[in-house]
Amino acid sequence: MSTGPAATVEKHARAFRALWWASTEPAHHHLPDYGLPQAFWSASVAELRLTRLASDEWTAEKSEGQTPLERVGEVLFHARRSGAEEAVIAVQGALVYLHRGSRQQINVAAAGRTDEEAQNVLAALRRAFPKQTPRGCRVEMKFWSYNHGASSRDETIDVCNWNEVTSNYSARTVQRLAPLMTAPQVTETGKLALWLGPPGTGKTFALRALAWERREHVRVHYILDPEVFLERIDYVMTVFGDDDDDEREVNDRARLIVLEDAGELLGADAKARTGHGLSRLLNLTDGLPGQASHARVLITTNEDVGRLHPAVTRPGRCAALVRFHPLDEIECREWLRARGREDLVGEGSPATIADLFARLRGETRLGGASPSVGFSGAR
């Protein structure tokens, strides 16, 4: 009589498959929202008393044909829906839950009897589904949002080389940005970097350049909903992570947590607007939680520094304050001359880099609009 994970979970298989075939809405059967395959895996892990767990997520290399799951181990349960697939697989005595998305995002959890067994299986899965290697100026970033708990997805993003875009910035801005592009650390551990300037001055492109230039030292964790982030302590703790997590183990890279267009969190009336969000931010940057974390925080805003809460910009807390200025008349002329369009300088200098690109496209926008405030402002 056969033994092991495959034999033990067989008695679950028919019931779970029948439920799956009967409906694509597992919640109708009072099962967890995350779906039948994961429920099947959880029930089997509990019955097998597999008490050691290892998990990971990554984006796999794209290929003409997907790696068949049967090459990994014995597939005990499989479901496909909306271009994604989920499976429960017996691998080397362990039990694996695997989710493979339509864009080759891999999420796996391996349960075994020992830590070594679980980690060995996880390593085998990484070999079976090799991690995507960014080509050219591309880096992998993690994007966070909150919906019934913190969740993230990995995306490979087109970025840029700092030397290729320095002409898009005023000399004063370049002087402040250059050290961040080359220093071993973007900021001191747990400290805050603050970038501020009118819309169209290139803050987002500078972030892309920073992600490329510091790719060996930091990984960008981008917060999609900054107004929610600092109001949810569970969200904050999940994103900041533990010092012994995978992020530190891989090339000893720190987390660079980015909140774009977050002026509403930093204003003089921030407490009235967002409650304790500002206090949490300050604790994360130079309080005990910040000192204990292997993370840095970068916030961009369209606000003028005079409109920010003084506690944010005080010396010792704000490790890097960079103002993004429009290009002056001479810089505008040089920028347009380098592109063969000095005739477009005309009136309206100084100008933002967004204004200059608009002129090249034949648009009428000149001189820039008044800076917008808060999360919805242009970048």
Question: Is pLDDT of 377 > 90?
Answer: no
Between 292 and 260, residue with greater pLDDT: 260
Note the pTM of the prediction, 2 decimals. Answer: 0.65
User: Residue 303: what pLDDT?
Assistant: 77
Q: Is the pLDDT of residue 24 over 70?
A: no
Domains plus CATH for the chain?
5-128 (3.30.310), 138-323 (3.40.50.300)
Question: In the predicted model, what is the mean pLDDT of residues 12-23?
Answer: 48
Is 63 a residue whose pLDDT tops 70? no
Check whether 159 has a pLDDT greater than 80.
Answer: yes
Q: Which residue has the higher pLDDT, 27 or 35?
A: 35
Per-residue model confidence (pLDDT) at position 209 = 95
Instruction: Lowest mean pLDDT of 110-114, 203-207, 353-357, 361-365, name the range.
Output: 361-365
The answer, yes or no, to whether residue 57 has pLDDT greater than 80, is yes
> Is 218:181 a contact under the CB 8 Å cutoff?
no
Say what the pLDDT of residue 32 is. Answer: 40
Q: Which of 49-53, 119-123, 152-156, 303-307 has the lowest mean pLDDT?
A: 303-307
The string of pLDDT tens digits covering residues 115-156 is 999 999 999 999 988 887 766 788 989 999 998 889 888 888
What is the share, in percent, of the chain residues with pLDDT greater than 90?
A: 28
pLDDT at 310 over 80: no
Q: Write down the mean pLDDT value for the chain.
A: 78
Counting Cβ atoms within 10 Å, is residue 116 exposed (0-12), middle (13-18) or buried (19+)? exposed
Write the single-letter amino acid at 216: E
Measured CA to CA, the distance from residue 71 to residue 303 in angstroms comes to: 55
Q: Which of 264, 260, 156, 140 is nearest to 206 (CA)?
A: 260
First to last CA, the chain: 66
Residue 28 has a pLDDT of: 35
User: Taking Cα atoms as reference points, which of 347, 363, 374 lies closest to residue 260?
Assistant: 374
